Amino acid sequence: MVALVGVALLVAVLWIGRQVDPSGPQGDLVGDVVIEPGTSRDGIASVLADRGVISNARIFALQAQLTGGGPWEAGRYVNFRSNSSFEEAAAVLDEGPVPPDARVVRIPEGTNAAGILEIIEESVPGVTASDLLTALASGEVTSRYKPADVSNWEGFLFPDTYEFAVDATPVEILQTLVDRNDEVLDSLDYDRAEALQGRSAYDLVTVASLIERETGQPPEERGQIARVIFNRLDADEILGIDASNLYGLGRTSGELTASDLAVDSPYNLRLNRGLPPTPIASPGKASLEAAIRAPVGDWMYYVLVSNDPPTHFFTSSAEEFERVAQDSRERGVF
């Protein structure tokens, strides 16, 4: 009986632990979360659980009560992510809501620079994409990581949620995104890129952008794709990554025709060896980390095997790759 009680207690402790700190990384931003005036701690917990930020409202409220969490302000919160730990959710609440007149800019991971400028234009009245392009070309926006001889800002405008004052200038807006990108690169030791990976920080940002556009849903895929890229580069093999081809064609999605694949572009990685000349999108932190800390593995190929959720199969065998690819084609995966 004592043993059974002990097992039950262990199971309960493990279950509670999973509620407090769920497995896997945080998910996507959940959008605006509005806490109405007068909402209790229990009510706030219920709102967060209903939006998928936390997994258990009762335990969140109890922990907050025991640890002195709150009281928290009413208002609009924009930085909550799904599958958050209680600590991560409480940190957003502790920061407080955005000011009523703040301009909120949400940039999804994997958005390219042109798309980012469009999002800013739509989110900040009075600031146009043309204004932003002028600011980028002015020399007033600076990054410690973008090479001085590279004019393209692709990959250096960090995807995140930002708040800007109503009178923020294009330079101030863009410098905020670039500073955030530099901070993330610093935190991941990109200043030691050559020592850690034998490649420049710029090349690793480019690799991370390919990872961001190619990865499926399983979190381990980012590292596996990074390793495939490095293995193929080391073997002087064509990368064949069609996300880069699409970027060179000015697109982000869609089927590639035979004529598309024959286009003579430095971004056509079915024709050209090595990396594309620039990043192809703005990678998030997980992809940047995968690029500089790729796992060990002999994978040389990956192929999409499911669309729901997007999942790839990885192998070191060309024959196995062809067999799995044929199966995916027959099942209509692509």
Give the whole-angstrom CA distance, residue 334 versus residue 332. Answer: 5
**pLDDT reading at 185 higher than 70:** yes
Q: What average pLDDT does the segment 196-215 reach?
A: 97
By three-state DSSP, how is residue 272 classified?
coil
pLDDT at 8: 47
- For the stretch 61-110, pLDDT in tens is 999 988 888 889 999 998 899 999 999 999 999 999 988 888 999 999 99
Domain definitions of the chain by residue range: 19-95, 103-187, 192-330
Give the whole-angstrom CA distance, residue 114 versus residue 121. Answer: 11
Kind plus residue range of the DSSP H or E element containing 203:
helix 201-214
pLDDT at 68: 86
Provide Rg for the chain, Cα atoms. 23
Write down the H helix ranges in 85-165.
86-95, 113-123, 129-137
The average confidence (pLDDT) of the chain is 92
State the fold for domain 19-95.
Dna Ligase; domain 1 (3.30.1490)
pLDDT at 324: 95
Burial class (CB in 10 A: 0-12, 13-18, 19+), 9: exposed
CB-based contacts of 48, cutoff 8 Å, min separation 6: 33, 54, 57, 60, 80, 89
By three-state DSSP, how is residue 310 classified?
strand
Give the whole-angstrom CA distance, residue 300 versus residue 224. Answer: 10
And the tokens for 18? 């999973």
- For the stretch 246-298, pLDDT in tens is 999 999 988 899 999 999 999 999 999 999 999 999 999 999 999 999 999 99
**pLDDT reading at 239 higher than 50:** yes
Residue type, 231: N
Which of residues 177 and 76 earns the better pLDDT score?
A: 177
